Structure 1
Amino acid sequence: MTPRDLLARLVAIDSVNPDLVPGGRGEGEIAGFCATWFTERGFEVHRLERRPGRPSLVAVRKGSGGGRSLMLNGHLDTVGLAGYDGDPLEPEVRDGRMFGRGTFDMKGGVAAMMVAAASAENLRGDVIVACVADEEHGSSGTAEVLEHFTADAAIVTEPSHLEVTLAHKGFVWFDVEVEGRAAHGSRPELGVDAIVKAGHFLVALERLGHDLAAGPGHPLLGTGTVHASLVSGGEEASTYPSSCRITLERRTVPGESPQHVEDELRAVLDHLRATVPDFRATLTRGLARDPFEADPEAEIVRTLIANLGEPAVIRAEPFWTDCALLDAAGIPCLLFGVDGAGAHAATEHVDLASLDRLTDVLTRTITGFCG
Structure 2
Amino acid sequence: MLDDLTTPDDLTTPDPIELLRTLIAIDSVNPDLVPGAAGEARIATWCADWLAARGFEVHRLEERPGRPSIVGVCRGTGATTGAGRSLMLNGHLDTVGVATYAGDPFTAELRDGKIFGRGSFDMLGGVAAILVAAARASVVAPGGNGLTGDIIVTLVADEEFGSLGTEEVLRRFTADAAIIAEPSGLELTLAHRGFAWFELELTGVAAHGSQPERGVDAIAHAARVFTALDALRERLEATPPHSTLGHGTVRVSMISGGDDAATVAASCTMTLERRMLPGQSPPAVEAELRALFDDLAATVPGFRFELRRLVARAAFEADVDWPIVQALQSSATRVLGRAPAHRGEPFWTDAGLVLAAGIPCLVFGVDGGGAHADEEWADVASVRALAATLEGTLRDFCA
In 2, Cα distance between equivalents of 1:105 and 1:322: 13
Other-structure match for 2:84: 67
1:26-41 matches, within 5 Å, as 26-41=39-54
**Does 1:314 pair with 2:331?**
no
Other-structure match for 2:155: 131
Between 207-216 and 230-239, report the one with greater CA deviation.
207-216
SS of 2:306's partner is strand
Deviation at 1:275, TM superposition (A): 3.2
In 2, Cα distance between equivalents of 1:146 and 1:259: 22
Other-structure match for 2:3: none
Return 5+ residue gaps in structure 2 as ranges. 1-13, 142-146
Other-structure match for 2:351: 323
In 2, Cα distance between equivalents of 1:94 and 1:214: 46
Deviations 1:242-273 (A, max 9, x none): 11011100000011111221221122113322
Deviations 1:37-78 (A, max 9, x none): 111111111100000000000011121112111000000000
Other-structure match for 1:148: 172
**Does 1:7 pair with 2:24?**
no
In 2, Cα distance between equivalents of 1:151 and 1:189: 63
In 1, Cα distance between equivalents of 2:343 and 2:39: 31
Other-structure match for 2:101: 84
In 1, Cα distance between equivalents of 2:23 and 2:380: 15
**Does 1:190 pair with 2:214?**
yes
SS of 1:73's partner is strand
Deviation at 1:18, TM superposition (A): 0.3
Deviation at 1:190, TM superposition (A): 1.6
Letter in 1 for 2:239: G
Deviations 1:322-350 (A, max 9, x none): 10111111111000000000000000000
Letter in 2 for 1:353: A
Deviation at 1:153, TM superposition (A): 0.5
In 2, Cα distance between equivalents of 1:81 and 1:188: 46
Letter in 2 for 1:22: P
Letter in 1 for 2:233: G
Deviations 1:137-160 (A, max 9, x none): 000000000111111100000000
Letter in 2 for 1:218: H
Residue identity (%): 60
Letter in 1 for 2:112: D
**Does 1:354 pair with 2:382?**
yes
Correspondent of 2:294 among 259, 270, 275: 270
SS of 1:145's partner is helix
Letter in 1 for 2:342: I
Between 177-186 and 87-96, report the one with greater CA deviation.
177-186
Correspondent of 2:200 among 166, 176, 194: 176
Deviations 1:196-244 (A, max 9, x none): 1111111221221122122222222111100101101111111111110
Between 205-214 and 99-108, report the one with greater CA deviation.
205-214
TM-score where L is the length of structure 1:
0.98
In 2, Cα distance between equivalents of 1:188 and 1:302: 65
Other-structure match for 1:115: 132
In 2, Cα distance between equivalents of 1:70 and 1:332: 10
For these two proteins, the number of residue pairs brought into alignment is 371
SS of 1:307's partner is helix
**Does 1:100 pair with 2:117?**
yes
RMSD: 1.0
Other-structure match for 1:369: 397
In 1, Cα distance between equivalents of 2:291 and 2:354: 33
In 2, Cα distance between equivalents of 1:273 and 1:49: 45
In 2, Cα distance between equivalents of 1:312 and 1:12: 31
Between 304-313 and 347-356, report the one with greater CA deviation.
304-313
**Does 1:230 pair with 2:254?**
yes
Other-structure match for 2:231: 207
Letter in 1 for 2:128: A
TM-score where L is the length of structure 2:
0.91
Deviations 1:108-161 (A, max 9, x none): 000001000000122111100000000000000000001111111000000000
Between 10-19 and 166-175, report the one with greater CA deviation.
166-175
Deviations 1:283-339 (A, max 9, x none): 222211000011111100001111122222010111111101111111110000000
Return 5+ residue gaps in structure 1 as ranges. none
In 2, Cα distance between equivalents of 1:38 and 1:174: 40
In 1, Cα distance between equivalents of 2:127 and 2:273: 29
Other-structure match for 2:60: 47
**Does 1:58 pair with 2:71?**
yes
Other-structure match for 2:6: none
Between 330-339 and 255-264, report the one with greater CA deviation.
255-264
In 2, Cα distance between equivalents of 1:275 and 1:330: 44
In 1, Cα distance between equivalents of 2:360 and 2:294: 40
Other-structure match for 1:340: 368
SS of 2:172's partner is coil
Letter in 1 for 2:371: A
In 1, Cα distance between equivalents of 2:52 and 2:283: 45
